[in-house]
Structure 1
Amino acid sequence: MRSFTPRPRALAVLLAGTALAFSPLGGSATAKLPVDQTAGVADCFTPSGASAKGGHGPDTRDISAAEQKAIEARTAQLLKAKAGRGVGVPQGALAAATVPVYVHVMRDAAGNGDVTDTQISQQIAVLNTTFGGQESSAAANTGFTFSLAGTFRYNNNQWHQDKQSSTYRKQTRKGGANALNIWLVDFAYLGIATFPWDYARQPGIDGIRVHYTSLPGGSATNYNLGETATHEAGHWFGLYHTFQGGCTATNDEVADTPAQSSPTNGCPTGRDSCSLPGLDPIHNYMDYSYDSCYNQFTPNQSTRISDMWTAYRA
């Protein structure tokens, strides 16, 4: 989704290595905090401000046009098979569920990178507001709600900086395919997400990583209203960026998000980067606009969320 200057938001390389020692205590926001026993304290980068989210690289793994086509075909097959077994939703209806959310606060050995229990509660509230279509009369209510299932805090220099990311996610992830795991870290990006069709192959790393300063009340200028998590959760549900594929008819596989050639920076009213019909959807959560500019998922995005949930997470 978005990045701090000069560090781009892009899919981080999965780093191999042996996990550092930790002793998590979790399940509630009031749990005692474990302490990392490793030596040394890593420097904690605190961004002085945020800038454009887009133009520096993706916040999910790259999906080629050929793979995008294959994903759509596979999803259709899974939906058909599940419908044949009576799994899914009735014709014309949309899936709905309460998603359990596990929040992992990855602090360094000195405790830098912590967030308050209030911020975490506010972040869950933002997810419920945005996926509930409550920020605009044009927004769709996706039918999905979110409930905090557990907060876990770790003191680990490497994990705090999102190093050994595949290792720490496999060791800390909670729940099944239907559970949203959010790891709060201090890294080069505002957020990174996995897609639902990758869960079967790599369930241990499924979830989203979000810069801890992007939570409500954080220090990420223009990006501290908690909507980084909304954007990344959109990917987790199966949505592409609104600029996926550029100025093409296929674009993001969603008919009611006008095609755009490039990501948005800020909130430029009337932006039109593509010759195809419609202005750029700068208010859509799946663009790269400021948090204050975001206000909607579209009805067709809601349908896609329902289909992807049914195919891969239900």
Structure 2
Amino acid sequence: MLPKLTLVALGLSSLASASLTRSARPLTRCGAPEPSREQIKAAAALLPDRKTGEGKGFRAEPVTVATYFHVVSSSEDEEDGNISDEAIADQLQVMNDDYRDSGFSFFHADTTRTVDPDWATNSLDPSTDMDMKGSLRQGSYADLNIYLLKGLITNDGKNVLGRCYFPMSQPRDEDVVLDGCSVLAATVPGGSMERYNLGKTVSHEVGHWMGLYHTFHDGCDGGDGISDTPAQASPTEGCPPRRDSCPNHKGLDPIHNFMDYSDDVCLTEFTPLQM
């Protein structure tokens, strides 16, 4: 698992809820921006063994990550995104279960609650994103901030389940502010987002925060830079058995990998070199 904390230590310092499941808007599991050349170069320099398979991934001394949850809703009602403390505790448990073998664990540092209809449904707008995170973000660049929102809608009208920023080698002040993961509140365990309500969206997005790419990054002849994730041409829809989108490459598609787009029930693992 690419260690965000190590990056820092090395000087690498609309609408959701039940109605969204019936929405006609196109749905995208992840809205993470494409990693920059600088981010790809930093990852390759730190973990060259991942490409060759000669190493065993990154298994540092155990690290506990301070995790701040920010619930941003359009009203104080649960259906408007104001999820319960119990739901947050359940989400944290899913994160710790999914990352158990990575050397990373997460502890609940704080929860903030904000009622702001604009922030709750329009945070993919760059100015709104900066405004919200500039007001709410806590901790250092090594700490994880998760923004649980009523809705995430792109400029082209797509619903997004989550978005997280990749680690930067030399983060500017604005990079530190924007750092963290924005996630649809309806995707937490027990949420109203059918097929995506077991908490795996947060686990997927935190993978980006740690520096992992999608398993289908750059298609069959590109890849995520990790040698033990099989080649994959495109994101998985649902949980299709024995999918093989790159038949000229070894291995079936990694449909159970947290960094794919499969349904939550299908996502169960990282590979050893991702860890």
TM above 0.5, one fold?
yes
Q: Could you say which residue in structure 1 is the equivalent of 2:122? A: 162
Cα distance change of structure 1 residues 76 and 259 upon mapping to structure 2, 3 Å threshold: closer
Q: Could you say which residue in structure 2 is the equivalent of 1:172? A: 136
Instruction: Note if 1:276 corresponds to 2:249.
Output: yes
Amino acid at match of 1:258: P
TM-score, normalisation: structure 1: 0.69
Preserved CA contact (<8 Å) 1:193 1:233: yes
Shift of 1:49: 2.2
Stretches of structure 1 that go unaligned for 5 or more consecutive residues are: 1-41, 81-90, 133-140, 303-314
Preserved CA contact (<8 Å) 1:213 1:219: yes
Alignment of 1:108-147 (within 5 A): 108-109=74-75, 111=77, 112-132=80-100, 141-147=101-107
Instruction: Note if 1:105 corresponds to 2:76.
Output: no
Preserved CA contact (<8 Å) 1:130 1:295: yes
Cα distance change of structure 1 residues 58 and 114 upon mapping to structure 2, 3 Å threshold: closer
Shift of 1:198: 6.6
Shift of 1:237: 0.4
Q: Could you say which residue in structure 2 is the equivalent of 1:196? A: 167
Q: Matched residue of 1:269: which SS? A: coil
Preserved CA contact (<8 Å) 1:50 1:220: no
- Between Structure 1 and Structure 2, the one with more strand by share is 2
Shift of 1:109: 3.9
Considering only CA atoms, is the larger Rg found in Structure 1 or Structure 2?
1
Provide the alpha-carbon RMSD of the alignment.
2.7
Q: Could you say which residue in structure 1 is the equivalent of 2:232? A: 260
**Cα deviations by residue, 1:3-39 (Å, 9 ceiling, x for unpaired):** xxxxxxxxxxxxxxxxxxxxxxxxxxxxxxxxxxxxx
Amino acid at match of 1:189: V
Aligned identity (percent) is 39
Q: Matched residue of 1:300: which SS? A: coil
**Cα deviations by residue, 1:115-165 (Å, 9 ceiling, x for unpaired):** 111000000000000001xxxxxxxx1011011100000011111113411
Q: Could you say which residue in structure 1 is the equivalent of 2:111? A: 151
Cα distance change of structure 1 residues 221 and 109 upon mapping to structure 2, 3 Å threshold: closer
Preserved CA contact (<8 Å) 1:55 1:262: no
Alignment of 1:291-310 (within 5 A): 291-302=264-275
Shift of 1:48: 4.8
